[in-house]
Amino acid sequence: MKNLKSLALAFVVAVTAVTANAQTKKIDVSKSTIHWVGKKVTGEHSGEVKFKDGAVVLKGNKLKGGSFTVDMTSINATDLSGDYQQKLNGHLKADDFFGTDKFPTAKLVFKTISEKSKDLYSVTADLTIKGITKPVSFEIAVKDNTATTSFKVDRTKYDIKYNSGSFFDGLGDKTIYDDFELTVSLVF
């Protein structure tokens, strides 16, 4: 019985030591950025959306986790100005796009992480937009107190079908492509 207690104590100490090495680092939401690009047959629009909060989990300098909340009410087209910008921003916040009155935030939670090379990781995460959660995969580079990634999201998986050629015929030059691109820079 004494050996069993000693073994149990050793296990608890080992687990505590491993856990103690992991650090959760909050992102600096004022310095971290998300840039988006949405394309259509006749061109594209681009802009930004802000983080509400988020953190990465590091063990030493190795990425072990992450969770982020995005303030969808902050979505802003930066390629336009004046009335055109206000009109597009309003449409992006409307129910046929992101429905920010009902769904003011989006969430990304890392699920699996594998190291590809020094400072580069493959991540599969759960992305929740409009209350719908689907997996996304991307590579992320982590160096010092920063991380960067770019990836595409298929908006139709989140019930954003407005002018999608995958769901509507005869749209012609009104077609908006299903994928939108995100470029993310984290500072923590």
Give the chain's domains with CATH numbers: 23-187 (2.40.128.110)
3-class secondary structure for 16-48? Answer: HHHHHHEEEEECCCCCCEEEEEEEECCEEEEEE
Query: What is the pLDDT at residue 1?
Result: 54
Q: What span, in angstroms and rounded, lies between the C-alpha atoms of 107 and 116?
A: 25
Task: Measure Cα distances from 170 to 45, 163, 164, 174, 180 in Å.
Answer: 22, 10, 10, 9, 21
User: Is the backbone of residue 99 left (phi > 0), alpha (psi -120 to 50) or beta?
Assistant: left
Q: What percent of the chain has pLDDT over 90?
A: 84
Amino acid 135 reads: P
User: pLDDT digits over 1-30, tens only?
Assistant: 555 444 444 444 444 444 468 999 999 999
Q: Give the containing element (helix H, strand E) for 96.
A: none
User: pLDDT digits over 140-174, tens only?
Assistant: 999 999 999 999 999 999 999 999 989 989 989 89
Query: What is the pLDDT at residue 6?
Result: 46
Query: What is the pLDDT at residue 165?
Result: 86
Q: In 3-state terms, what secondary structure has residue 90?
A: helix
